Amino acid sequence: MAELRSRRSNLAVPGSNPRFLEKAKGLPADQVFLDLEDACAPLAKPGARKNIVAALNEGGWGEKIRVVRVNDWTTEWTYRDVIEVVEGAGAELDCLMLPKVVDAAQVRALDLLLTQVEKANGLSVGRIGIEAQIENAQGLINVNEIAGASDRIETIVFGPADFMASINMKSLVVGALHPDYPGDPFHHILMTILMAARARGVQAIDGPFLQVRDVDGFREVAKRSAVLGFDGKWVLHPGQIEAANEVYAPSQEDYDHAELILDAYEWSTSEAGGAKGSAMLGDEMIDEASRKMALVVAGKGRAAGL
C-alpha cells in the first residue's frame, strides 16, 4: 500500500460558523473537514460556501489535510457546492467528502464534475481526492465498487448516525455497545468497510461519537475500530482530538518494537547477515509475514511522528 497521510483525527467544522472555522486552524487534528452538509441548515448553505472558500484561501491550516464535505447527490445543492468551492479555492483543497454514497456511479459523477472544474480553472487534474461516506444499507452492499470507483478515492468513511437511522437500529448512542446485544453490533459494518478499503489500498475512517463531553466513552468506541485496523475517527469537539491521535497511533512501545523487528529482519536477510529467510529477535521468530505486520505498525508510528 502506498504511504498514506496520517488521518487519526478528522475534525468536523460547520461551514456556517466563521468563528469555528478560524479556531479549527490552530487545533492539532490531522484532518479538518469543513461541512456544507448536515451541520449546515439549508438556508445557511450559500453563506457557508462563501465562508469555506474564504477560510481556505486565508490559509493557516498548517500540515492539516483540508477537506470540504459537500451535500449528497439526492439534494439540489451538490453541483453548486463543488463548483463554488473548487472554483473559489481548489488549489487550497485536498479532498471533497461525498456523504450518503450508494453506488459507484455517484463517485464517478463527482469525479467527472471535479475534472471539468479543474480543467476550466487551470488546476492540476486529479489532485483533489474523494472521501466516500457509507451511511446506509445500499452503500454498504456496494462498498467494494464504491472504493474502486475512482483513483481519487482516498478514504471510505463510516457514517454511523445516518447508518443507524437508515437500518432502524434500536439505539440512540452512536457506536456504543447495547446491553441487549451480546457482541458488537457494528462489527460487521466496520469490517466490511475495512475490507473494501484495504482491497483498494485506501484508508478506513470511523465516524463520530456524539457524546462530546464523554472522552472515556469516545476512547472506548475508538479503540474497537483502531484495533481492527481503522486509520482514524471523526472528532466533533476539540476535547476528542488528543484521544483520537493517541488511540489511532501505535503505542511508543509497539512502535519501537516494530522498528527493531524491521532492523533484525533486514540484517538477517542481507548478505552480511547470512541471507537467511527468518531472523530471531530475542525469543521471537521473524519471517516475511511478521515483517509486513511490523511495517504496518512502523508506518503508522512514523506518520504520527513517533
Binding region for Mg(2+): 135, 162
Q: Which is nearer to Mg ion, 117 or 146 (CB)?
A: 146
d(CA 220, CA 247): 9
Geometric angle at alpha carbon 88, from 84 and 93, rounded to 5°: 100
In the list 159, 160, 250, 301, the residue contacting Mg ion (rule: CB under 5 A) is 159
Single out the segment in contact with ligand GLV by CB under 6 A; choices: 41-49, 118-126, 158-166, 197-205: 158-166
CA torsion, points 235, 241, 243, 248, in degrees to nearest 10? Answer: 70
Buried b / exposed e along 277-295 (16+ C-beta atoms within 10 A): eebebeeeebeeebbeebe
> Contacts with ligand GLV: how many residues (CB under 6 A)?
9
User: What is the amino acid identity at position 266?
Assistant: E
Q: Which is nearer to ligand GLV, 55 or 101 (CB)?
A: 101
Single out the segment in contact with ligand GLV by CB under 6 A; choices: 118-126, 145-153, 160-168, 193-201: 160-168
Q: One symbol per residue from 61 to 100: x for binding ligand GLV (CB under 6 A), - otherwise; what is it?
A: --------------------------------------x-
Q: How far apart are the first and last CA of the chain?
A: 20
Single out the segment in contact with Mg ion by CB under 5 A; choices: 54-62, 149-157, 162-170, 197-205: 162-170
Binding residues: 69, 135, 162
Binding residues for substrate: 69, 135
State which H helix or E strand residue 287 sits in.
none
Q: How far is the CB of 213 from ligand GLV (least distance, A)?
A: 18
> Contacts with Mg ion: how many residues (CB under 5 A)?
3
Which phi and psi angles does 233 have, rounded to 5°? -150, 155
Q: Which is nearer to Mg ion, 118 or 162 (CB)?
A: 162
d(CA 16, CA 185): 34
Q: Which is nearer to Mg ion, 11 or 294 (CB)?
A: 11
Q: One symbol per residue from 162 to 181: x for binding ligand GLV (CB under 6 A), - otherwise; what is it?
A: x-------------------
d(CA 38, CA 291): 43
- State the binding partner of 14 from Mg ion, ligand GLV, none, CB within 5 to 8 A by kind: none
CA torsion, points 212, 164, 5, 114, in degrees to nearest 10? Answer: -120
Beta strands in 9-62 (DSSP E): 9-14, 31-35
Instruction: Name the residue among 298, 232, 234 with its Cα closest to residue 263.
Output: 298
User: What is the amino acid identity at position 87?
Assistant: E
Counting contacts by CB under 5 A, is residue 162 touching Mg ion?
A: yes
Q: One symbol per residue from 125 to 144: x for binding ligand GLV (CB under 6 A), - otherwise; what is it?
A: --------x-x---------
Positions that interact with Mg ion (CB under 5 A): 135, 159, 162
